[in-house]
Amino acid sequence: MESFSTHLGSTVAHFYACSELNYYQTIGWLNLVVFFINCSSVFAFCCNSKVGQKSSDTFISRFLRLGSVAGGYIYGHIPLVYRLYSSGIDEAMFYHIISTLCLTTAAIIYAVDFPQRWYIGKFDIIGQSHQIFHILSAFCCYFDILAVEQDVLNRERYWGVLSQQADMLSLWHVCIAAVLLTISCMVYASNRLINHRDRIGHC
């Protein structure tokens, strides 16, 4: 759920508050469609991998979950890549880059199961890959919030310009879709968990 909410929030913020105006105008309402498909498919896949028919290979199962999530994150970072290419680095972009590096490092560490994969028995409680993943994810969120704050405070560009667009009302559609999507995902996860318990029995 953490990855889902982070993915959902950062994708919306990057498009509506941090993207260049020409990119925003080019994508338009299609952003809502891609956003909805990404979030729903990622959550369904991750949920099934947890309480569905899990792979016998933990590494493959973890890699597939990360792969499904990566698609959504990559889409959410396209506005930033385009902005970096067209406008270079400013203070906000510097924070965006740090956030992306934290996210990328977290995904790699989690996927390769470092360090406990190579140092068996030494990092079972403290310093394991899952723990490092969540710490780096928290740093990712922190620097992403700093970056978005800088873009919102910039009255001459980004949010200052994007918020004046005639179709900015579509942001309300995204907010409504996000609430409905969150509720539907919670219902879906509950049903999958009930089916899982019925299949294996209660402990």
Enumerate the known binding-site residues for Zn(2+). Answer: 130, 134
Q: Determine whether 123 is exposed, middle or buried from the number of CB atoms within 10 Å of its CB (0-12, 13-18, 19+).
A: middle
| Average pLDDT of the segment spanning 74-99 | 92
Q: 3-class SS at 200?
A: helix
Instruction: Return d(Cα 18, Cα 32) in angstroms, integer.
Output: 16
pLDDT in the model for residue 203: 45
Predicted local confidence at residue 188, as pLDDT: 76
The domain limits of the chain are 2-200
Inform me whether the pLDDT recorded for 153 exceeds 80. Answer: yes
Q: Over pLDDT 70: what percentage of the chain?
A: 77
Compute the distance between CA of residue 111 and CA of residue 68 in angstroms, rounded to an integer: 12
Q: What is the mean pLDDT of the chain?
A: 79
Compute the average pLDDT of residues 165-188: 75
Residue 117 CA to residue 63 CA, distance in Å, equals 14
- Select, from the ranges 49-58, 74-83, 165-174, 175-184, the one with the highest average predicted confidence (pLDDT): 74-83
Mean pLDDT, residues 69-90: 88
Tell me which residue of 110, 39, 32 sits closest to 72, measured CA to CA. Answer: 39
Q: Is 27 helix (H, G, I), strand (E, B) or coil?
A: helix
Range 5-21 average pLDDT: 78
Query: Over 90: is that where the pLDDT of 59 sits?
Result: no
Q: How far is CA 11 from CA 16, 35, 84, 197, 200, in A?
A: 9, 8, 16, 34, 37
Are 18 and 147 contacting, i.e. CB atoms less than 8 angstroms apart? yes
Q: Which residue has the higher pLDDT, 113 or 61?
A: 113
What is the full DSSP assignment across 114-155? TTTTTSTTTSSSSS-HHHHHHHHHHHHHHHHHHHHHHHHH-S
Confidence band for 102, pLDDT divided at 50, 70 and 90: very high
Average pLDDT over residues 32-41: 76
Q: Which residues are documented as binding site?
A: 130, 134
